[in-house]
Structure 1
Amino acid sequence: MSGRRGSMIVMQTVVALRRYPLKSARGEVLDAADVEPNGLRGDRTWACIDRLDGTVGSAKDPRRWGRLLDVGTSMRDDGPETALTLHVDGTSLPAGSAAADAALSHHLGRPVRLSRDVPPDARLHRTLPDDIGMVPDWMGGARPGQETITAIAGARQVGRFVDFGAVHIVTTGALSLLGQRMAGASVAAARFRPNLVIDAPHDPEPGQELRLGDAVLRVTLPTPRCVVPGLSQTGLPADLSVLSALARHYRIPVAGLGRAACFGTYADVVQPGRLRLGQVVR
């Protein structure tokens, strides 16, 4: 892919790569990543499971799970298996250990266990943002501020703890336009927890294929947003004005499901491969 800036052709490139080994915890900034058939290697392969009701831990309900955003992650994936280390309250612990479960339970104030197995009826709690424009049409009569429990459709399809698509993409052009609509604010890509940030003037369209080296991604749909972009995370302060701007300017139809406030796009993996910073997107 390329775009024109004046009379000069500008190549579109990957300017950030991130993965989130534990759902709703802090992610890892990468220089390179392998793309597997169901997403970036190691991305959202673990989740906290509530021992009381079996739901999947997600910062979409910040009262219950918001402190997950303070948990650090680091993953070693230089062999056939990935090994995840959690960094909780100054302590580093291997995921899957009783000590990690205990530390996370203490940190979150509720009994949890870590799991790599997606439950067949994977569900999560979410608190809807206070702006009616942020409530998706498909949530029926749900009201702003209401807590709901919803199924995680993407987790069943992909086999990881993802909400919809295997790969999440945002572009620098879309971030710049959002900032303009927020009176010139600078909006960090990290608020949206993307896997790829592409230096491009606008988002790719659903159905478009992106070739990055030997990897090929197919854009599927725009990304419906929840309360998370407005929360404090990864060194960013809470900013509910982001949600207000999404509700005002970004409510669009989504794949026949109705309208929702969207930012960024989801993509499926057509062909696995290796991604690197600076890679040209064609």
Structure 2
Amino acid sequence: MRVSQLTIYPVKSTHGHPVDSAPVEPWGLAGDRRWMAVDAKGSAVTARRFPRLLHVTATPDAPGQLRLHGPHAEPIDVDATKAPAEPLVDVDVFRDELSATHPSADADAWLSSLLDHDVRLVWLDDPRRRAVEPQHAQPDDRVSFADGFPLLLATTSSLDQLNRWIESDARQRGEIVEPLPMRRFRPNVVVENDTPFAEDTWSRIRLGDIEFRVAKPCGRCVLTTIDPDSLVKGKEPLRTLSRYRRWDGEVWFGVNLIPETPGELRVGDLAEVAAESTPDRRRSR
């Protein structure tokens, strides 16, 4: 098995930024989801509610600096390192409350124009502020503005199997469907492998020289049903995952990782399972 893709998402819920290599920090790939749009109350704004965020491309520069590209306006540069010395703002990410830097009224206006909604752009200047869910982590584990864990990993064989299921079920309904691309699932790491859903049994994996704990499988949400190009919402993959990959009240694709040590991760790195477990995760199917 080898790492075949690496992707960071500089601004939560926006277009992914593919990279050939990336430093691994305790809270995820360097630069991943350190920025986020929030509403007037400070709550996270995501593409689940505002799909047009998927048409925003954020090009990172140095830490705290990026350029935003969108279909509605000229690109805009944002530099949180030059923000006025103002108090941090309170934000929340799925009930996790923390503080962040609010660097640019111009960036707020740029995003608000795109979404036709009053939002602000914030930067997590210190990711040590947010802990990982304690039931799946150690006390000192930290995470950025990602949904819950530092990294998300998916495998090519699992996507291939899912697309075979989707195609087979569609054929029985007399429908023709296109295979879903991996970017529907927004992983940071894609591993090329041969056995579908082998990751269900992993408890630790080594990517290159870095070892990761597999915290838990990733429960999937409605965002996976939105085509990132057309923004049209459909039924897949949740319809098919609900048939083949449903237990404990959720549907599952990919696994969440927590790094044990920092290091550099590269496309082409060897992926080796360091430890396995065999939990009975499908009892409720």
TM-score by length of 1: 0.74
Q: 1:280 to 1:182 in 2, by over 3 A?
A: same
Match status 1:67 vs 2:52 = yes
Asked whether the equivalents of residues 26 and 234 of structure 1 are also in contact (C-alpha less than 8 Å), the reply is: no
Aligned 8 A contact 2:64 2:123 in 1: no
2:188 matched residue in structure 1: 195
Partner SS for 1:208: strand
How far, CA to CA, are the matches of 1:263 and 1:13 in structure 2?
19
1:187 Cα offset (Å): 2.2
AA aligned to 1:103 is: W
Aligned to 1:227: 222
- Tell me the residue number matched to 2:77: 94
Output one character per residue of 1:149-207: Cα deviation in whole Å (capped at 9) or x when no partner: xxx959x9634111121100000110011011112652211000000110012342465
SS at match of 1:267: strand
Q: Is the alpha carbon distance of 1:157 and 1:276 closer, same or farther for their aligned partners in structure 2, counting shifts above 3 Å?
A: closer
Cα gap change, 1:268/1:234 in structure 2, threshold over 3 Å: closer, same or farther? farther
Alignment of 1:129-208 (within 5 A): 158-183=142-167, 186-200=179-193, 201-202=195-196, 203-205=198-200, 208=203
Q: Is the 8 A contact 2:24 2:264 kept in 1?
A: yes
User: Please, which runs of 5 or more residues in structure 1 have no aligned partner?
Assistant: 1-11, 119-151, 253-257
2:37 alignment counterpart:
48
SS in 2 for 1:67: helix
The one-letter amino acid paired with 2:116 is: G
Does the CA contact (< 8 Å) of 1:206 and 1:219 recur in 2? Answer: no
SS across alignment from 1:204: helix
Distance 2:212 2:143 in 1: 18
Matched with 2:261 is: 271
Report the AA paired with residue 197 of structure 1: V
Distance 1:160 1:277, change over 3 A: same
Which one of 205, 226, 245 corresponds to residue 240 of structure 2? 245
**Residues 196-236 of structure 1, C-alpha deviations (whole Å, 9 max, x = no match):** 11001234246522212222111111101110111020578
**Residue pair 1:214, 1:272 contacting (<8 A) in 2 also:** no
1:216 aligned to which of 211, 216, 240: 211
**Normalising to structure 2: TM-score of the pair?**
0.73
Q: Taking structure 1 as reference, are residues 194 and 275 closer, same or farther at Cα in structure 2, changes over 3 Å only?
A: same
* C-alpha spacing 1:249/1:18, structure 2 compared with 1 (3 Å): same
Classify 1:47/1:82 alpha carbon distance in 2 versus 1 (closer, same or farther; 3 Å).
Answer: same
Report the Cα distance in structure 2 between the residues aligned to 1:216 and 1:27, rounded to whole angstroms: 24
Q: Secondary structure at the match of 1:105?
A: helix
Q: Which residue of 1 aligns with 2:83?
A: none
Aligned-partner Cα distance in 1 for 2:13–2:164: 28
Aligned length: 227
Report sequence identity in percent. 32
> Per the alignment, do residues 110 and 157 of structure 1 end up closer, same or farther by CA in structure 2, a change over 3 Å counting?
farther
Q: Deviations over 1:53-85 (max 9, x none)?
A: 321111222xxx2211111111124xxx34221
The answer for unaligned runs of 5 or more in structure 2 is 79-102, 126-131, 135-139, 169-177, 273-285
> For the structure 1 residues 169 and 236, does the alpha-carbon distance in structure 2 shift closer, same or farther, using more than 3 Å as the test?
farther
